[in-house]
Amino acid sequence: MVEQRAQDILAACEGLPVTEYFAGETIIEEGSVGDLLYLLIEGQVEVVKGDTVVSRVAEPGAVFGEISALLERPTTASVKAASKARFYCLKSAGSTLVRHPVLALHTAQVLALRLANATEVLATVEQGDDKKDDGQFGIVDQVMDSLFDQDRWSK
């Protein structure tokens, strides 16, 4: 089902500009601001925070650059090609998503999944804290509170 959904999303992108990167090339630089949204067609990328690879992604339809493109904020990580990789490149991401509701829904689903995964990890870490000392795991409480702070997201 996931593979079929990826095929449907990529089919909906046909005709949009395609950009190709070679292994080792930086696609998105951590801290940069832009209005481009990238959808992976094929290849593998690494998401890098500082000097640490935090994930490797090879799923067609994966979305990158959404924080900067949709919130006009600096990107939180770099994305680098781990192999030759091709992307659909959506310029003016907000208005492109308005014109392509299938892509907007896909992007929302990807973001919801990432949020669910992050929330689950944070909740697991917090539940494992028997002492509840504010030193080691106090930051988890702060992150969990910020995830559910509606005033923060309405700005």
Position 96 pLDDT exceeds 70 = yes
Whole-number Å distance between alpha carbons of 58 and 61: 9
Structural domains in the chain, sorted by start: 2-153 (2.60.120.10)
Question: Looking at residues 136-147, what average pLDDT do you find?
Answer: 55
Question: Looking at residues 18-30, what average pLDDT do you find?
Answer: 96
| The predicted structure's pLDDT at residue 152 | 46
- Residues 101-127: tens digit of each pLDDT: 888 888 888 888 888 888 887 777 766
- Residues 27-83: tens digit of each pLDDT: 999 999 988 999 999 999 999 999 999 889 999 999 999 888 888 899 999 999 999
| The predicted structure's pLDDT at residue 150 | 46
Question: Looking at residues 10-35, what average pLDDT do you find?
Answer: 93
